[in-house]
């Protein structure tokens, strides 16, 4: 079966991109060894691209009491609930690496209630999935339940805002049929190639 394209939309050449976006991509490539398709495909609209990654970084790189692995768990669980192949495959890879656990992404994407994570993390993901799929159902009781697990108001904003951002991201991925890079499938499942030498 022929592989599907990485987007329903035209994908710009690096050379044709605005300077700031091209440099951002080259920096990512330098660090990761490849350019994730979310960069390549969203660059179709440079202004939206800039806002998208500014928002992403504001949430995912900020100081937070949520660990980086926990933030990626939120992405993977909510994207799994919305059947978003790109987000689960790409962020699943990142989750495996942050958590140093080759099984956790598959478990969280499929059924976080039975994953090898803490009860506190399950409560966090219950909230995230509820906000993601039925935002109108979230109530004060849900906030209180998170507080009973030790999350404070800023933690809850983090959980909710990451969920909200990836609700956007999932819909963009579905809209353009964004395809994950081949590299993500194996990342974090086996030692990285550079260490095998």
Which 83-102 residues touch a copy of itself, going by CB under 8 A? 83-85, 88-89, 102
Applying CB under 8 A, among 58, 65, 67, 147 the residue interacting with a copy of itself is 58
Contact 162, 128 (CB under 8 A): yes
Burial of 11 (0-12, 13-18, 19+ CB in 10 A): middle
**Residue 13: CB partners within 8 Å, gap ≥ 6?**
none
Give the length of the chain. Answer: 197
Instruction: Give the nearer residue to a copy of itself in terms of CB position, either 10 or 30.
Output: 10
- 169 interacts with a copy of itself by CB under 8 A: yes
Main-chain phi, psi angles of 164, to 5 degrees:
-65, -45
**Residue 17: CB partners within 8 Å, gap ≥ 6?**
25, 43, 46
CB of 146 to a copy of itself, least distance (A): 11
CB of 164 to a copy of itself, least distance (A): 4
Applying CB under 8 A, among 22, 45, 68, 145 the residue interacting with a copy of itself is 45
Rounded-to-integer distance, Cα 179 and Cα 173, Å: 8
Applying CB under 8 A, among 116, 147, 148, 150 the residue interacting with a copy of itself is 116
Rounded-to-integer distance, Cα 190 and Cα 97, Å: 10
Which tokens in the block code for residue 50?
């800039």
Applying CB under 8 A, among 24, 40, 94, 117 the residue interacting with a copy of itself is 117
CB of 18 to a copy of itself, least distance (A): 13
Rounded-to-integer distance, Cα 52 and Cα 177, Å: 17
Stretch that binds a copy of itself, among 16-24, 25-33, 48-56, 144-152 (CB under 8 A): 48-56
- Could you give the angle at the alpha carbon of 53 between the alpha carbons of 192 and 65, nearest 5°? 70
CB of 116 to a copy of itself, least distance (A): 5
Q: Which spans of this chain sit near a copy of itself (rule: CB under 8 A)?
A: 1-4, 8-9, 44-45, 47-48, 50-52, 54-55, 58-59, 62, 80, 82-85, 88-89, 102-103, 106-107, 109-111, 113-114, 116-118, 131-132, 135-136, 138-139, 143, 153, 156-157, 160-161, 163-165, 167-172, 174-177, 179, 182, 185-186, 189-190
């Amino acid at each position: 079966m022929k592989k599907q394209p990485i987007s329903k939309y035209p994908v710009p050449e690096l050379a044709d991109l605005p300077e700031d976006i091209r440099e951002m991509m080259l920096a990512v490539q330098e660090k990761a060894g490849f350019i994730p398709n979310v960069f390549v495909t969203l660059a179709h609209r440079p202004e939206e691209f800039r806002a998208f990654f500014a928002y992403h970084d504001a949430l995912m790189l900020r100081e937070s009491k949520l660990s980086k692995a926990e933030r990626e768990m939120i992405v993977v669980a909510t994207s799994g609930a919305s059947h978003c192949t790109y987000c689960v495959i790409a962020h699943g890879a990142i989750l495996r690496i942050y958590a140093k656990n080759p099984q956790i992404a598959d478990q969280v994407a499929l059924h976080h209630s039975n994953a090898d994570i803490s009860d506190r993390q399950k409560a966090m993901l219950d909230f995230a999935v509820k906000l993601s799929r039925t935002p109108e159902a979230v109530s004060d009781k849900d906030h209180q339940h998170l507080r009973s697990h030790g999350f404070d108001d800023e933690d809850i904003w983090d959980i909710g805002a990451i969920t909200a951002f990836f609700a956007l991201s999932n819909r963009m991925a579905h809209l353009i049929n964004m395809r994950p890079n081949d590299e993500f499938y194996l990342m974090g499942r086996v030692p990285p190639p550079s260490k095998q030498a």
